[in-house]
Amino acid sequence: MTNTSKRTGLVQDRRTLLTGAATFTLFTPGLTFAASGDLAAVRKAAEAGFDASVKRIQDWIALPSIAAENRDMDKGADYMMALARDAGFQQVEKVPTDGHPGVFATLDVGAKRWMGIYFMYDVKQFDPAEWSSPPLEARIVDKPGFGKVIVGRGAVNQKGPEAAFLAALHALRAAGRKSPVNLVLVCEGEEEIGSPHFHQIVSRPHILAALKRCEGVVIPAGWQSPSNGGVSVNLGAKGIVELELVASGAKWGRGPRTDIHSSEKARVDSPAWRLVQALTTLVTPDGNTPAIDGYFEKVRPLTARERELIGLAAQRMSEADAKRALGVDRWIDDLPWEKALERLASQPTINIEGLVSGYTGPGGKTVLPGRAVAKIDLRLVPNMTMADCVAKLRAHLDKRGFQDIEVNVSGGYDPTETDENSRLIRAELNSYKRLGVETSVYPRLAGSWPGAVFTSAPVGLPAGQFGLGHGSGAHAPNEYYVIESSNPKVEGLVGATMGYVDFLYEIASIR
């Protein structure tokens, strides 16, 4: 099988639609691209660049920048700068912050319109013992039902989709074409710890001025459904607060200052049990609904339009796929599919990411720990704010006598919302429709990204996600990204690359 036939990643019926002049016009993005006849040349360049695109992902995975561990952060920023220059960005700079550095770049081709692109170069931590192949080797393996995939930390979150976007710029240049829009690229290395300093990057005067010229900002994505190839166009995302709650004998004034023998529990207080008692006050007894005083005061209920969109999405999205991907059999309260989707979009959450105290190794070790830590994330919906939620958490604990429990916030940001009628959302929908991709419009992503930095003042832009292709396992072992799809409904790397080309032309021409 030749590289061209093997690696396009596009389903056969879409490929054949490009063989005739009449159908060619139907599947080109916007009037500009339709008139230019460029699509075949760019596709040929993307196919020829497949091996280089794969290696770009693998090399990037091999350099893990992990903000939580302060691991290779400067190297990660330098590598991101090199990737941007290699893709054709003319102005590239490292942007210092009070934390880890970001990257800012522009590609000015003299086009009428500008488009903003958001990248992150950091990844989550990993334990190699949990992986089927080493998480930094980026091995290419056959995954039944999907095809050839790259397995590695950051494969889908976010290096695979981001590399596919860069591949689109490489393909345009290799085909002798310019990008149809000018680009502003803003990158950070702290997304996985809640983007605590990203606002410092965006608020720099020359970066803010560049962003204000843009039609909007997108983060590349690869979320096609394996069952029908469908995607969701999200009109926003939940906000997040990442924090630790810490109980200690030293701060409490009771219990031990260090671990002591567990026999002393008969006469010594336990910081670990104190933390457990504090945690139980934060949620209802089933653990599913926040119970912090005043937590729902600012929560905006779903609008009639949002409920309508969720109802339509429930008809198009596969409940079985969702449960299979999550490894769950039932939703909270055994909710039916549509009600589960409503809850996913509308409810703020308080989640325990991890509990750490005392000895956690093999066997037992009879200690009474002097310190206990709960790693917590709060997911926020409109019109909640990070500052208000942290203040309410602190007040809630204080009111119940837990003044000694430390609240250490590491990062976070507010929820984000984007107008359904903005050019950005309409361009996404137009591109997906033209490419034959089933699309659901959904009120907001249940996960979080720092889109609020773009949608709120002083930037004030539409922001969202766009992309074809598929991957899964973000934050988990065996994270993967499909590069050669055996599923006729899901694009491989070349198909994802061409999706970004289509989208950029759509942004250039949409009215």
The predicted-structure confidence for 189-198, as pLDDT tens digits, reads as follows 999 999 999 9
Cα–Cα distance between 247 and 278 in angstroms, integer? 9
DSSP state of 38: -
What would the mean pLDDT of 352-379 be, rounded to a whole number?
96
Amino acid letter, 355: L
Comma-separated ranges of CATH 3.30.70.360 domains in the chain: 239-299+348-413
CB 472 within 8 A of CB 479: yes
Residue 73, SS3 per DSSP: helix
Structure tokens of 141? 């393996």
| pLDDT category of residue 29 using cuts at 50, 70 and 90 | low
Six-digit token pair at 101? Answer: 């550095």
Residues 6+ apart with CB under 8 A from 51: 3
Confidence of residue 215 (pLDDT cuts 50, 70, 90): very high
Q: Which residue has the higher pLDDT, 89 or 4?
A: 89
Average pLDDT of the chain? 93
Domain topology for 239-299+348-413 = Alpha-Beta Plaits (3.30.70)
Q: How confident is the model at residue 23 (pLDDT cuts 50, 70, 90)?
A: very low
pTM of the predicted model as reported, rounded to 2 decimal places: 0.89
pLDDT of residue 30: 55
pLDDT of residue 321: 87
Encode pLDDT of 334-346 as tens digits.
999 999 999 999 9
Type and span of the H or E element at 200: helix 198-202
The Cα 110–Cα 90 span in angstroms is 12
As annotated, the residues of the chain forming the CATH 3.40.630.10 domain(s) are 3-237+416-509
Q: What does CATH list as the number for 3-237+416-509?
A: 3.40.630.10
Digit-coded pLDDT (tens) for 389-446: 999 999 999 999 999 999 999 999 999 999 999 999 999 999 999 999 999 999 999 9
pLDDT at residue 25 tops 70 = no
Tokens representing 175? Answer: 């085909």
